[in-house]
Amino acid sequence: MATALVTGAGRGLGAAFAARLARDGHDLVLLDVEEDAVERVAGAARGLGRTVEVLVADLTDEKDLAAVEQRLGDRERPVDLLVNNAGVQGEGQFVGVDVGRLQAEIDTNITAVMRLTRAALPAMIERRRGAVVNVASFAGYLAGRGDAYAASKSWVLSFTDTVAASLTGTGVRALALCVGQLQVRMRPAPEGASRSGLDPDAVVDKCLADLVRGRTLSVPGWRYRAVVDALELPRRTLRTAARLAGRGR
């Protein structure tokens, strides 16, 4: 039975990943800083007959982060899929944000993603199977807007692209999920409340389908995809030129 570890699994996109993976037959390791929220998600997965381990952890805390790294490196309890979903979104221009808040964004959106990916990969490469999904954001293409969140998600996109290239021939995959605005689910929904935005379940379906297809970037929503395709075209052209130049040496 395959096992998936999902960070930020207590609500939103993380909960949607957990639900879909449980339906697909995965056992789960679910991580969140909010115990009550993640236990509700775990209970639903257990109701489907899945084995679920809950880790209550704050990825900005060195001790907690090290414990998750250790779990990912456990060869006796292998993790086949890592979903780095946990994130911190700040508000405001860089110079106007409290340094502590900026550090929390870096610790969660960058440091934890890097370290958990690094912790998961050796065992996956040994088994010649496994995958890492790093949740980025459409904001990563808008780093010029001046906030640290956009910059951190731009890093996730570049980092995942680099990791994916390094994994060629290993049987292990890496994919960046570039998410736009998600629907906010409220029960019961206020009268007249907007349901605009991407449905989290549809986002997860698209992401996992792209992972199976061997893609390294998943962009749900045709409007977002059209913009990203236009922005990625120069990079693809440069990569092709670089490969051709390398062959000519």
| Helices marked H in 167-221 | 200-212
How far is Cα 75 from Cα 105, in angstroms, rounded to an integer? 30
Q: Which of 80, 20, 11, 73 is nearest to 50 (CA)?
A: 20
pLDDT tens digits along 210-238: 999 999 999 998 888 788 878 777 666 66
Kindly list the domain boundaries of the chain, sorted by start residue: 3-247
pLDDT tens per residue, range 44-98 = 999 999 999 999 999 999 999 999 999 999 999 999 999 999 999 877 777 788 8
pLDDT of 34 above 60: yes
Alpha-carbon distance of 102 to 105, in angstroms, equals 5
Q: Can you give the pLDDT at residue 73?
A: 97
246: pLDDT confidence band, cut at 50, 70 and 90?
low
Please report the pLDDT score of residue 142 as a whole number.
81
Q: Is the pLDDT of residue 193 over 50?
A: no
- pLDDT of amino acid 74: 97
Lowest mean pLDDT among 2-11, 182-191, 222-231: 182-191
Task: Give residue 188's pLDDT.
Answer: 41
Model pLDDT, residue 189: 40
Confidence (pLDDT) at 212: 97
CATH 3.40.50.720 fits 3-247, yes or no: yes
Say what the pLDDT of residue 241 is.
59
pLDDT at 19 over 60: yes
**Mean per-residue pLDDT for 175-184?**
82
Q: What is the pLDDT of residue 192?
A: 39
pLDDT higher than threshold 60 for residue 156? yes
Q: What is the DSSP letter of 198?
A: B
Active site residues: 149
Which residues fall within 8 angstroms of residue 246, CB to CB, at 6 or more apart?
none
Query: 92-150, pLDDT tens digit by residue?
Result: 777 788 898 899 999 999 999 999 999 999 999 999 999 999 999 988 888 666 688 88
Q: Are β-strands 172-177 and 217-218 bridged in parallel, bridged antiparallel, or unpaired?
A: parallel
> For residue 148, what pLDDT is reported?
85
Tell me the C-alpha distance between 235 and 131, whole Å: 24
User: What is the β-pairing status of strands 81-84 and 52-56?
Assistant: unpaired
Q: Please give the average per-residue pLDDT across 161-166, as a whole number.
A: 97
